[in-house]
Amino acid sequence: MKNPPTAAIMIVGNEILSGRTQDINIQFIAERLSLRGIKLAEVRVVRDEEAAVIKAARDLGREYDYVFSTGGIGPTHDDITAECIAKAFNTTLEINPEAKRRMEEFYAARGTVMNEGRLRMARIPAGAELIDNSISAAPGFKIGNVYVMAGVPKIMQVMFLSIEQTLAQGVPMLCNTVSCSLKEGDIAIEMEQIQKQCPDVEIGSYPLMADSGPSLNLVLRGTDEKLLKTATDKIVAMVKKLDPNPVIAYQRPPVLPPQKGPKL
């Protein structure tokens, strides 16, 4: 496993590519991974096409320590993710007895029929581990280093939280923000020089255009507190030459519960 561990998100669904649906799962997963010190390195949106999903799963699985897939595990004909992941891992897709049991209990308690359509959601690749779904019972699954979860945000979130503590614990990312009333062009060259001086700290520039005038957030991210402070001090000194009153925010990640996954 790489240090820090790396991850990718694979979003499956034509509704995302068409613009009909706005994905909000990325932010949740990215924030949770950052807290665990896992570097989210890529997000890929894949159309509902078998060859495309299989290729993406294989490519991302080889490249990164973790792949988190969302979408395409529902009961309808266009929900093809489970079948594609089974093919990507050269295994069969079958009705999982435990998944079926959970769903039957859930629907029976609500007076809902466990019909053929709903039974499709109990199809799991052979050899995969189930991911709990405390909202609607139909589970996600993990096979290899690929975690397959629902696309519905509330369901995806409870699925992710159920497996979060099994993930490796890297060094959490620290983040400082320097806000000022400058334009990017005012400091572009100087900021580039600071980035070269501090290669172990990510420095990003995010402009805003408000009615009151330009606004700029300079965001610094890193895992080493001393290096982050050095870079932040340089940025603050640079900004103060043009804006004497920047706003500086020091953000620290909250303490996570004791982790049960492998440590690096």
Question: ∠62-64-70 over CA atoms, to 5°?
Answer: 100
Give the residue from 140, 102, 104, 96 showing the smallest Cα distance to 122: 96
Quick one: pLDDT at residue 21? 87
pTM value? Answer: 0.86
What is the arithmetic mean of pLDDT over 235-252?
Answer: 90
Q: List 147's β-bridge partners, or say none.
A: 68, 142
Domain extents in the chain: 6-166, 174-251
**Given pLDDT bands bounded at 50, 70 and 90, which one contains residue 5?**
very high
Of 128, 150, 144, 133, residue with least CA distance to 66: 144
pLDDT digits (tens, 9 = 90+) for 117-168: 999 999 999 999 999 999 999 999 999 999 999 999 999 999 999 999 999 9
Q: Read off φ and ψ for residue 133, nearest 5 degrees.
A: -130, 100
DSSP string, 116-145: HHHHGGGEEETTPEEE--TTT---EEEETT
| Element spanning 172, H or E | none
Q: 253 pLDDT band (50/70/90 cuts)? A: low
User: pLDDT (tens digit, 9 = 90+) per residue, 220-240?
Assistant: 999 899 999 999 999 999 999
Which amino acid belongs to residue 147?
A: Y
The hierarchical CATH code for the domain 6-166 is: 3.40.980.10
Q: Which two tokens stand for residue 90?
A: 């050269």
Q: What is the pLDDT of residue 191?
A: 97
Q: Which residue has the tokens 């390195």?
A: 41
Bridge partners, residue 177, by sequence:
219, 249
Identify which has the larger pLDDT, 3 or 218: 218
In the numeric block, which tokens belong to residue 36?
Answer: 């665990």
257's tokens: 């519960």
Q: In Å, what is the CA distance from 102 to each residue of 79, 107, 125?
A: 20, 9, 17
* Three-class DSSP category at 210: strand
Given this model, what pLDDT does residue 262 score?
A: 39
Q: How far apart are CA 159 and CA 138, in angstroms?
A: 10
Burial 229-257 (b: 16+ CB within 10 A, else e): bbbbebbeebbeeebeebeeeeeeeeeee
Provide the pLDDT for residue 252: 63
CATH code of the region 174-251: 3.30.70.1130
If phi > 0 it is left, if psi is from -120 to 50 it is alpha, else beta; for residue 137 that is left
User: How far apart are the C-alpha atoms of 68 and 135, rounded to whole Å?
Assistant: 19
* pLDDT mean over 199-205: 96
